Each structure stands twice: as C-alpha cells, then as structure tokens.
Structure 1
Amino acid sequence: MTFRLDDLARTALRPDEVVVVDWHVTGLCCADSGEFSVRALRRSRLPRRFRPVDALPHNVVYAHPTAWAHLAKRDVAVSCRRVGPLRWFTTDLPPDAGLRACLGRLPPVNA
C-alpha cells in the first residue's frame, strides 16, 4: 500500500503531525464492518497499534490495523481541503470504501 500526499496535503500538514487512516466500527454483529477516516494527528498522540505505511513523503502516514489490511496492495492519493483554519484530509477512495472492503467489492487495484 502506498499513500501519496499531494501538494495541498503536504502544505496543510504541520511539522509535528502525521496523517492517520483510522477504522471506525459501524456494525454491531462483527468488528469487520466499518468505515475509513483520514485525519491529521500529532505524532506524540499516535496510538501504538497504528502501523506505518509506505507513503510519499516517507514516515507521514499511519493506519489502523484493520484499515491497513483492507487497503493492502492499493495506491491511495491524499489531499486536503481548507476553509479558513479548518482542514479536511480526503482520499481518492469511494465514499463507501469501508463497506465495499468488508464485502470484498473495492474496485480492482489497477482500476
């Protein structure tokens, strides 16, 4: 898995921050049902269970273990939208990527 931060995301990311790909459980019956979120987090507040992933630039993207497993062998582009001081980190994944990943229906890796 490779995450590529575009110029907007690189500029918005502060020197002490990393991009975190988190997994949020949405199903009551199994822990695999969930959705992805992408946000910035200070490196000092990064939970231990999060794994570093291949990224450009290096050592700036970490993923929850479940998100890491669902996104293995995929290239993901990360961007950032700003409205004043607020920042939203976004990816090129479909809006329902978590549900699709749980059902094994994410688009093919090279699509």
Structure 2
Amino acid sequence: MRTKTQLKLKIINKKRFVTFITSILILSVILTVMFFAQTSVRGQAESNYIYVHIATGDTLWDIALRYNQNHKDIRNFINEIMLENNMETAMLTQGQILRVPVK
C-alpha cells in the first residue's frame, strides 16, 4: 500500500525552462556581487577615519600633527580635517568629536 503520492513533473518547453534557470542564476550572481561590493566599500570608507574626542586645550594643529600619517603638508591636512567635519573656522570646543582621515 502506498501512502505517499508521487508528483511527476514534465518539462513541456525545454527552451523556456533553460531560459528561466539561466535568468535565476544570473540574477543571483548580480545580487551577490552588489551585496559584497557595498559591504566592502562601506567597511573601507569607515576604516579610513578615526574619531577624535576633543579635550580642553586641543587644537587642530596638534591633532593634525598627531594623525598626519602620510606626512602631508600640515596646513593641507588641517584643511582636509575641516572639510571632512564641515567646519568654517578652526575653533574647537571641549566634547566635540572630529572625524580625522588616516589613509
């Protein structure tokens, strides 16, 4: 006595079936590549910065000297920090957090 029913599938249009499977595989590859590309770009962008908590007496000059790993001109590096943090002046306040590029 059989308790399970067997379902037999018959491919009627082989060309349509192959096209469907190929489309699914291509879509899967594209989505996987897009996911990993976004993850690596996001991770890379954040790893190129360090966040500095400003204490009393800190200056942009001191911070630039401390984190200028590429030995750029210090004035250009200060300008880069100011641009990154949307600063109009070089004034810092205690408790402020700066995003400093450390490429």
Tell me the TM-score normalised to structure 1 length.
0.23
As a proportion of its length, which structure holds more helix? 2
Larger radius of gyration: 2
As a proportion of its length, which structure holds more strand? 1
